[in-house]
């Protein structure tokens, strides 16, 4: 019985560390720092955790990993759309190579 509790504690501790490391960077980043690539990396990490859970037969780990991957992917797509809109607006307002034109003689 003692071995079973030790294994459960180790598994829960590992899951907690994985979740904290995956979500911690994305949640602590300010909006100015959080680019779409941040959410893409979190989605890849979540998918890796989900795959690990599926391979080892751990349903809870697979579920948490899948949920993290799905949520992060949706956030990645919405941020990617915002970045595209922002760059389109900037190109329309300032042109494609406004900095290069400014310094020509």
For 41-68, write each residue's pLDDT tens digit: 999 999 999 999 999 999 999 999 999 9
pTM: 0.58
Where exactly are the structural domains of the chain?
A: 2-95
**In angstroms, rounded to a whole number, what is the distance separating the alpha carbons of residues 11 and 9?**
5
Could you tell me which residues come within 8 angstroms of residue 70 by beta carbon, excluding any fewer than 6 positions away? 46
- Residue owning tokens 């890849």: 44
pLDDT at 78 over 70: yes
């Amino acid at each position: 019985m003692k071995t079973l509790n030790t294994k459960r504690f180790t598994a829960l501790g590992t899951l907690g560390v994985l979740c904290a490391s995956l979500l911690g960077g994305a949640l602590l980043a300010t909006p100015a720092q959080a680019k779409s690539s941040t959410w893409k990396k979190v989605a890849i990490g979540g998918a890796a955790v989900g795959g690990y859970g599926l391979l080892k037969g751990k349903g809870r780990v697979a579920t948490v990993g899948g949920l993290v991957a799905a949520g992060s992917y949706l956030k990645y797509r919405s941020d990617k759309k915002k970045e595209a809109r922002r760059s389109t607006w900037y190109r329309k307002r300032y042109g494609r190579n406004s900095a290069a034109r400014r310094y020509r003689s």
